[in-house]
Amino acid sequence: MTGIRAEHVTIRYGKRTAVDDVSFDVVPGSVYALLGRNGAGKSSLVRALTGNLRADLGKMEVLGKDAWSGRAPLMERVGIVSEEPDAPPEMRVKELAWFSSRLYSRWQQKAFDERIARFGIAQTSRMGELSKGQKKQVTLALALAISPEVLILDDPTLGLDVVARKSLFEEVIAHMADFGITVFMTTHDLAPVEAVADRVGILRNGKLVLDEEIDTLKSRFRRIRFASQPVALSTANLIAATVRQWGSGTEAVVSNYDDLAFERFRDVSHLQAEVTPMSLEEIFIAVAGEQGE
């Protein structure tokens, strides 16, 4: 059984197609990061995944159940940290915990108390008194205390400072190590993704243009800088994702880098070239950077 599966999912709003024939699998116990610029379709997929939106075509499954028709039984097994926590502002943290403990049969009060204490949040605080970062931390503590098999993080670090972001991901990583849950996240904060994700998908204009294990992805992307205008990279069977002027020379991002092929190319062409690895953020910009907002 897969943790999460999307099969040819298409989502439309009137005549506009927000998600266009998207398919992917998330292996149980792994971390999958879905990336994309604003308007790429991430939010629509998350809504379908959490049972809040029915896809026009295709199917979204969570733990082997249809995300739409099975959303009631899945509620016990799926923790959600939304982009904008919507708890009533007058409710105290401890009241939210009490309410959740009545809804979820596997509620872990001790785990919730310990996590809130680590976050330095008083349980007598009202939600309306908390900062955005503290609200996210409370939401994460609630989501993990239900003992979820799947955790969905929808842009969890949006609006958080560096310390809060680090704290949030440390809690997720520690919980995964202890319980082996499946994590699905969307985010614009790519630095922690590079450290925790097993696989990434990149949406562009509603289409999934990349779906790959992060180590494999980083091994095949390279930035190549030439001191002068190079001959065609195709002579080395290297595919240039982007090419731009770099000072008096040229910079190319290649998506199928191979050491041996490039060395043969450099020996034949007698060109001075510098090859550097790329971060996930740099790869994302190369793949999704041309999409409009």
pLDDT at 293: 36
Long-range pairs of 14-18 with CB within 8 A, sequence gap ≥ 24:
17/206, 18/44, 18/206
Q: What is the pLDDT of residue 246?
A: 58
In which residue are the tokens 């939304």 written? 82
What is this structure's pTM? 0.87
Cite the DSSP H helix spans in the chain: 42-49, 71-74, 93-103, 109-119, 132-145, 162-179, 190-196, 214-220, 259-269, 280-288
Q: What is the pLDDT of residues 130-183, one digit of tens each?
A: 988 899 899 999 999 999 999 999 988 887 888 888 888 888 887 886 788 999
Give the pLDDT confidence of 40-79 residue by residue, as tens digits. Answer: 999 999 999 999 999 999 999 999 999 999 999 999 999 9
User: Which domains does the chain show, CATH number per domain?
Assistant: 4-212 (3.40.50.300), 222-277 (no CATH)
pLDDT reported for residue 40:
92
In sequence order, which residues have a C-beta less than 8 Å from that of residue 216 and are 6 or more positions away? none
Integer angstrom CA distances of residue 262 from 10, 36, 51, 64, 235: 39, 30, 47, 44, 9
Write a three-state SS string for 77-133.
CEEEECCCCCCCCCCEHHHHHHHHHHHCCCCCHHHHHHHHHHHCCCCCCEHHHCCHH
